[in-house]
Structure 1
């Protein structure tokens, strides 16, 4: 395994992520590349159940660049996985075939359970959570994975159709979003969270919450006013419910064009950040949690840790 170079590509509803790492003999690794590009592959999928031609083209363009970067760094193994949008789209198989034909890229569409397991593995290895009853929340563009862990053991999981892109498309039609739209959004989120407890048959009392993926890392970056994203400043950082509420007030008071000027907020995420922030606030309220720790190591790191 010494010196083997591994790449993980996570094709999400909103963002495409690439991680390239060199695996070491002592079960450690060196990150050579870690990047993300927003292509909005899942745009409209909630309504049409199809990946649109423009979204496919945007995604192919990014994946072609990722494939070229893997070649430049002499990567030995590439694993590409897809999540919510590809689970929902009726033409996902055709998209997979195109990736294989044009890029020689085998794409595995993860189930909600597989997505939850890789997310939990990333958190369990990437943060010190020993002895804690922890809720891991992976907010994507199309779905959110809820993982209940205890001292390194995955107890239960669930995948709900609550994602920043899906919720924005369903509920926030005006710009800025009206109060009645936001109220309907919150009601829908709370109803889905109630269904989670029915599925789990118990409402746990968590001692900690960890948030994964772009909505959490964006809220952390905005809190710090980061002009350039910094892993060291975001990964493992605290995010309070009060800060999430502050940012909700900020986003709902301005149109999307103004949000794009906020330091720490990627311009391509400006239209979906309000729904994502409201979702996180409702989750924290539902479980009575005043703070979360932010992780920027999601599925791609779970795929990496699996190989160590």
Structure 2
């Protein structure tokens, strides 16, 4: 294990730091941390990063930089997604981050985000030869990929993430039936390209990546008094169990949702609209079960890093795709 590197995934809700030592075909996690920065809070619907959100983001990134100095890691790959790429002040924010921390932010588009999510899911072991629909529910965007362990057949990114759905439809607690109806109409309108792709490629499996799916898995396992294996990167969530969990979440207030074993505070608000989205998707395909991958974008970045190390390519920001 020679190369030390770090990935920073600057999501709309959560910033992730992952420090690793890279080998030719593997990686060792040195340290990881996630912080609920909520960079999209308050401003995402106006395509702005508000001052308070910028302060939280900069504070977290300065903290990450100090940790990286302690590990003597200078190969830092920071990726920003929906909230930053759509913000009118996103470019100015990225410049401010560089000036204050020396971290160069790569603001990636939705297609690139979907590609990295696919590579992370593939590394989790969730894929085989079967056609599979993969989804990652972020705060700003949702990525869908159809493919298998060999290739991507179709991919799409939609700016309908959890924070956006929350701002548009979840006004009451618990959410009202008419709000769910309006959300479903919105999803049907905005996800027509996905619906057509499902009809064309007929995926037989559904895999959810990280985030919401991690929490749904935790709730399922806690409800069955089962421990979650730390070194396992794919987890089975039976469809009927998901439907039972979703029905509970939709009918509970925030305080009661938070009391559910397995729930974490950073997911308690958006998990309702995210569950509605998953239920909408399940109306358009009928997989046997739902597989949940703990790997997503940042592990997809690692997969590319490992490939570069194996082929002797330079691990620098300038040489990155």
TM-score by length of 1: 0.92
**8 Å Cα contact 1:260/1:266 also seen in 2:** yes
Displacement after TM superposition at 1:181 (Å): 0.7
Give the alignment partner of residue 221 of structure 1, picking from 213, 218, 221: 218
Describe the superposition over 1:253-296 as per-residue Cα deviations: whole angstroms up to 9, x where unpaired: 22112222222111122111100111112112212224221111
Where structure 1 has 5 or more consecutive residues not aligned to the other structure, the ranges are none
Asked if 1:185 corresponds to 2:172, the answer is no
Whole-Å separation in 2 of the counterparts to 1:287 and 1:53: 42
Give the alignment partner of residue 248 of structure 1, picking from 241, 246, 249: 246
Where structure 2 has 5 or more consecutive residues not aligned to the other structure, the ranges are 307-321
Pair 150,251 (structure 1): closer, same or farther in 2 beyond 3 Å: closer
Q: Which moved more, 1:49-58 or 1:189-198?
A: 189-198
RMSD between aligned residues? 2.1
Give the alignment partner of residue 206 of structure 1, picking from 194, 200, 203: 203
2:10 matched to which residue of 1? 11
Pair 202,176 (structure 1): closer, same or farther in 2 beyond 3 Å: closer
2:259 matched to which residue of 1? 261
Displacement after TM superposition at 1:243 (Å): 2.0
Equivalenced residue count is 305
**8 Å Cα contact 2:126/2:293 also seen in 1:** no
Displacement after TM superposition at 1:46 (Å): 3.6
Whole-Å separation in 1 of the counterparts to 2:231 and 2:274: 21
Describe the superposition over 1:224-270 as per-residue Cα deviations: whole angstroms up to 9, x where unpaired: 1289x956387311122322221222122221122222221111221
Pair 157,67 (structure 1): closer, same or farther in 2 beyond 3 Å: same
Pair 201,183 (structure 1): closer, same or farther in 2 beyond 3 Å: closer
Whole-Å separation in 2 of the counterparts to 1:280 and 1:130: 22
1:33 matched to which residue of 2? 31
Asked if 1:22 corresponds to 2:21, the answer is yes
1:160 matched to which residue of 2? 158
The secondary structure found in structure 2 opposite 1:69 is helix
